[in-house]
């Protein structure tokens, strides 16, 4: 017994729409029999496509993402142009008196295009998910975008073929114009006018003020001018910094310090580098044994650039100056971090490679530096611990491997990690372990007060069995000197 209720008929019609849209995606000619758009049907297709786009983008953005409400106001130009293209090729259609005799009309064609978009969104979701997770959201390999380009081209071809096959052959010029418009909108939506409904947690928190969790857009930074003077000055600056490093003192545990701030688009990393360098010099007797590598337009004629090659050179020179059986090398890295374990580097127009823990470990091993204290102030920095850990190494990070850190926005004076650990606790103690333990509690409290939504950053520490002895000797010397 058949079900002739309106609901059943509506469900059957929806199923036919989906079947024909799926066929048109693989370039089959739709069977338009019984398919005519209604205002509700068209609105339903638009809303479903929008919700799918929002939902799929949320799935690939990661934990703690913030919804960008203003994005709902963008992207409607392509909808308007697509609707006009459908009217262009089918203007005048549907004006016959008898509904059954009416040819295909513009709203029906537009609805089918939206349904194509729904089918293509479902097919493309797996591709988008794999690209984002395999490249931390930003594919860097030159071939990584090929599948996305192919998918966009497929969408364009499917739309053009649908229009071409479903409209009167007598309207050749209109079909050509409509096809060009649809292709242009696919290109525009894919590359020129991307809509981002979700802001990744690390981006949202980078834009937040230290005392609040409300994202605020960063002002456009003044571009760094890579002049000949700057280019010629940089080798001299690096050479001077390396030559200024004092030799280790026999029988004294000296601390050498290197700060590395490769992200030049935000001043917070430059400021943190300065604070950490000051603490090492004033509290840990590292004056004459401290070197800052910084990417920032304000320091381009003061400090050598924070590039991996300069860091490698600095490590090699410290190894020559220090007593490798007694002294300790401290390195503080501060930047944005990715879940792939890379430390972000940005200093346009200079191209700077990212730094990885594997490279840092390699350079330290090659230089023969035994006693190491490594501090990583970045999102997901807990992923640095395993590659760097050894019996002679202490590693401290601003977060674990699964969470973002906090306080790296344009209005932040320091990151939460840099403020709590260096500007506060290490001005009171010479123990990295004690300072880190207290800093963890402060950071947890401050993140909750600031409204961090994607979980406690959970700073980590790893202490090798043999690194405690030289650090204890250093603490004892510094305490005795302060007591005099």
Q: For the range 97-102, what are the long-range contacts, defined as Cβ-Cβ under 8 Å and sequence gap of 24 or more?
A: 99/36, 102/36
- Determine contact, residues 357/384, Cβ cutoff 8 Å: yes
Asked if residue 402 belongs to a domain, the reply is yes
Domain check: are 10 and 52 in the same one?
A: yes
Please report which helix (H) or strand (E) contains residue 371, including its range: strand 371-377
Residue 213 confidence (pLDDT): 38
First-residue to last-residue Cα distance in the chain: 100
Compute the distance between CA of residue 129 and CA of residue 238 in angstroms, rounded to an integer. Answer: 43
DSSP one-letter string for 216-260: -PPPPPPPP---HHHHHHHHHHHHHHHHTPPPPPTTS--EEEEEE
For the four alpha carbons of 449, 451, 456 and 462, in that order, the dihedral sign comes to negative
Domain check: are 267 and 407 in the same one?
A: yes
Please report which helix (H) or strand (E) contains residue 449, including its range: helix 432-450
Asked if residue 443 belongs to a domain, the reply is yes
Asked if residue 466 belongs to a domain, the reply is yes
Q: Residue 431's domain is classified under what CATH number? A: 3.40.50.1460
Compute the distance between CA of residue 25 and CA of residue 117 in angstroms, rounded to an integer. Answer: 9
CB-based contacts of 171, cutoff 8 Å, min separation 6: 89
Q: Kindly give the pairing relationship between strand 290-294 and strand 328-334.
A: unpaired
- Determine contact, residues 260/333, Cβ cutoff 8 Å: yes
Angle among Cα 200, 441, 255 to the nearest 5 degrees reads 95
Domain check: are 22 and 135 in the same one?
A: yes
Domain check: are 478 and 382 in the same one?
A: yes
Asked if residue 215 belongs to a domain, the reply is no
What is the number of domains present in the chain? 2
- Determine contact, residues 149/173, Cβ cutoff 8 Å: no
- Determine contact, residues 358/285, Cβ cutoff 8 Å: no
Domain check: are 309 and 269 in the same one?
A: yes
Asked if residue 474 belongs to a domain, the reply is yes
Which residues, given as ranges, of the chain have pLDDT below 70?
Answer: 1-12, 56-65, 68-77, 84, 92-103, 124-148, 188-223, 409-411
Residue 135 confidence (pLDDT): 37
Asked if residue 313 belongs to a domain, the reply is yes
Domain of residue 399 covers 228-483
Compute the distance between CA of residue 450 and CA of residue 448 in angstroms, rounded to an integer. Answer: 5
CB-based contacts of 338, cutoff 8 Å, min separation 6: 136, 137, 344, 379, 380
Domain check: are 233 and 97 in the same one?
A: no
- Determine contact, residues 376/333, Cβ cutoff 8 Å: yes
DSSP one-letter string for 456-471: ----EEEE-TTTHHHH
Domain check: are 53 and 138 in the same one?
A: yes
- Determine contact, residues 49/118, Cβ cutoff 8 Å: yes
Domain check: are 131 and 233 in the same one?
A: no
Domain check: are 191 and 235 in the same one?
A: no
Residue with tokens 């030159």: 142
Asked if residue 221 belongs to a domain, the reply is no
Domain check: are 285 and 323 in the same one?
A: yes
Q: Percent helix, strand, coil in the chain (nearest 5)?
A: 55, 10, 35
Angle among Cα 473, 477, 479 to the nearest 5 degrees reads 115
Output the six-digit token pair for 137.
């959201």
Compute the distance between CA of residue 34 and CA of residue 100 in angstroms, rounded to an integer. Answer: 9
Residue 331 confidence (pLDDT): 98
Compute the distance between CA of residue 469 and CA of residue 466 in angstroms, rounded to an integer. Answer: 6
Asked if residue 114 belongs to a domain, the reply is yes
Crossing angle for the helix pair 76-90 and 172-187, to the nearest 10 degrees: 170
Domain check: are 183 and 267 in the same one?
A: no
Domain check: are 178 and 319 in the same one?
A: no
Q: Kindly give the pairing relationship between strand 255-261 and strand 198-199.
A: unpaired
Output the six-digit token pair for 173.
């010029």
Residue 98 confidence (pLDDT): 42
Choose one of 158, 182, 199: the last residue of a domain: 199
């Amino acid at each position: 017994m058949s079900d002739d209720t309106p609901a059943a008929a509506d469900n059957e019609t929806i199923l036919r729409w989906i079947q024909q849209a799926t066929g048109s995606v693989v370039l089959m000619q739709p069977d338009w029999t019984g398919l005519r758009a209604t205002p509700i049907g068209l609105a339903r297709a638009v809303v479903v496509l929008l919700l799918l786009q929002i939902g799929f983008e949320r799935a690939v953005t990661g934990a703690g993402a913030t919804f960008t409400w203003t994005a709902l106001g963008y992207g409607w130009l392509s909808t308007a142009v697509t609707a006009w293209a459908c009217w262009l090729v089918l203007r005048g259609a549907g004006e016959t008196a008898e509904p059954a005799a009416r040819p295909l009309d513009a709203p029906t064609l537009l609805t089918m295009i939206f349904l194509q978009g729904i089918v293509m969104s479902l097919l493309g979701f797996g591709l988008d998910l794999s690209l984002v997770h395999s490249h931390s959201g930003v594919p860097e390999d030159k071939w990584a975008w090929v599948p996305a380009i192919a998918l966009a081209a497929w969408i364009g071809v499917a739309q053009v073929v649908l229009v071409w096959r479903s409209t009167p052959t007598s309207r050749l010029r209109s079909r050509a114009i409509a096809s060009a418009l649809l292709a242009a909108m696919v290109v525009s939506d894919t590359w020129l006018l991307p809509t981002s409904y979700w802001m990744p947690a690390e981006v949202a928190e980078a834009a937040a003020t230290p005392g609040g969790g409300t994202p605020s857009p960063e002002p456009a930074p003044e571009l760094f001018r890579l002049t000949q003077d700057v280019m010629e000055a940089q080798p001299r600056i690096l050479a001077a910094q390396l030559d200024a490093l004092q030799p280790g003192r026999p029988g004294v545990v000296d601390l050498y310090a290197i700060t590395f701030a490769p992200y030049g688009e935000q001043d917070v990393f430059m400021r943190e580098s300065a604070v950490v360098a000051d603490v090492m010099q004033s509290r840990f007797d590292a004056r004459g044994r401290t070197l800052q590598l910084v990417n920032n337009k304000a320091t381009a004629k003061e400090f050598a650039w924070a590039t991996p090659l300069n860091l490698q050179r600095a490590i090699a020179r410290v190894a020559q100056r220090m007593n490798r059986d007694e002294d300790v090398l401290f390195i503080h890295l501060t930047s944005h971090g990715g879940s792939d374990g890379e430390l972000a580097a940005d200093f346009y127009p200079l191209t700077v490679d990212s730094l990885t823990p594997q490279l840092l470990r390699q350079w330290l091993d090659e230089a023969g530096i035994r006693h190491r204290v490594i501090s990583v102030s970045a999102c997901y920095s807990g992923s640095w611990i395993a590659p760097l850990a050894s019996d002679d190494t202490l590693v401290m990070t601003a977060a674990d491997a699964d969470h973002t850190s906090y306080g790296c926005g344009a209005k932040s004076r320091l990151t939460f990690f840099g403020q709590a650990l260096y500007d506060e606790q290490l001005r009171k103690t010479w123990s990295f372990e004690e300072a880190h333990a207290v800093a963890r509690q402060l950071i947890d409290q401050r993140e909750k007060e600031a409204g961090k939504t994607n979980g406690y950053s959970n700073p980590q520490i790893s202490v090798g069995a043999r690194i405690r002895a030289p650090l204890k000797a250093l603490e004892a010397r510094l305490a005795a000197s302060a007591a005099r």
